[in-house]
Amino acid sequence: MPSDDPGTDAGSEAVLYEVAPTGVAVVTLNRPERLNAWGGDISAGFYAAMDRAEADPAVRAIVLTGNGRGFCAGAHLGSMPTVGNTLGNGQAPDVSQIVGERHPHFLTTLRKPVIAAINGACVGIGLTHALMCDVRFAADGAKFATAFARRGLIAEYGISWILPRLVGFGAAMDLLLSGRTFYADEAARLGLVNEVVAPDQLMTRAMEYAQDIAAHCSPTSLAIIKAQTYGDAERDVVDASARAEKLMGESLLRPDVVEGIVSFLEKRPPHFPVLQEGL
């Protein structure tokens, strides 16, 4: 679990990974000395951890958080020495050295729910990653900002797609154009986070939520619902409804439905089969 000690050895793993017996994988960004600013070390460990959780049939939900005082305070330019040599001379630096092999929207393609436990500063690409998670809890007092316009940058890596869908067009334009700092309580009012909790209760609340999903929800249903929801954002209502009808027919042929109904009637926790490949 994440520590409150900002002095964690910088030579330790950039991303920590553990799986609770309840079927929840905890992925912790672990560069607290720089508020977990996103760099090549974190990106490599992050995607490896997410792939590991996605491939493990024992994992049914994922919690993403940060160690120390920050969730992720934006990009760590210090991880890319060539920036100083290329900025201003007409050459664009290779930002893939910071971002890594995939863009943040990769999180929306995972078959398992990803819950962000935002423990502190959540800025720039850190905010984009948090928004691409499926559900977000924030510690009271956590700071948020897009910051791009204040750095001469643009709305990066899909935040211009996801932010208006979460908070509405007007609020998204305010946050993107101003680049202002705002706090967890406003983030909750806007719908950017689902719930604000006391800092010392953040992981407890996020884990309770994830464990409830792991214990009571069909992994197959979760995978299909995620694919539906993000995919339907690009479809009209007629296509989305027609696709849902087809998927409903397929779901009625799976054992998950029988187990869901029987366990409800018998007033016991369900025992859903593990997620099958190809879904």
Tell the burial category of 77 from Cβ atoms under 10 Å away from its Cβ (0-12, 13-18, 19+): middle
Query: Same structural domain for residues 80 and 122?
Result: yes
Query: Same structural domain for residues 22 and 66?
Result: yes
Nearest to 117, CA basis, from 52, 36, 189, 44: 36
Domain-ending residue, one of 199, 214, 229: 214
pLDDT (0 to 100) of residue 86: 46
Query: Same structural domain for residues 250 and 138?
Result: no
pTM here is 0.83
- Distance CA(46)–CA(277), nearest Å, equals 22
Nearest to 250, CA basis, from 210, 273, 229, 279: 279
Query: Same structural domain for residues 34 and 76?
Result: yes
Domain of 203, CATH number, reads 3.90.226.10
- Count the domains in the chain: 2
Query: Same structural domain for residues 96 and 141?
Result: yes
Query: Same structural domain for residues 40 and 63?
Result: yes
The range of the structural domain enclosing residue 254 comes to: 218-265
Residue 105 has which token pair?
Answer: 């929207």
Would you write out the chain's pLDDT as a tens digit for each of its 279 residues? 444 343 444 448 999 999 999 999 999 999 999 999 998 899 999 999 999 999 999 999 999 999 999 999 988 766 544 444 444 555 555 566 666 678 889 999 999 999 999 999 999 999 999 999 999 999 999 999 998 888 788 888 889 999 999 999 999 999 999 999 999 999 999 999 999 999 999 999 999 999 999 999 999 999 999 999 999 888 775 777 677 677 767 877 888 878 877 887 788 888 888 887 766
pLDDT (0 to 100) of residue 151: 78
Is residue 73 within 8 Å of 35, Cβ to Cβ? yes
Domain assignment present for residue 168? The answer is: yes
**Residue 62: helix, strand or coil by DSSP?**
strand
pLDDT (0 to 100) of residue 7: 41
pLDDT (0 to 100) of residue 93: 54
- Distance CA(117)–CA(121), nearest Å, equals 12
User: Other CB atoms closer than 10 Å to residue 278's CB: what's the count?
Assistant: 4
Domain assignment present for residue 6? The answer is: no
Query: Same structural domain for residues 125 and 188?
Result: yes
Query: Same structural domain for residues 185 and 231?
Result: no
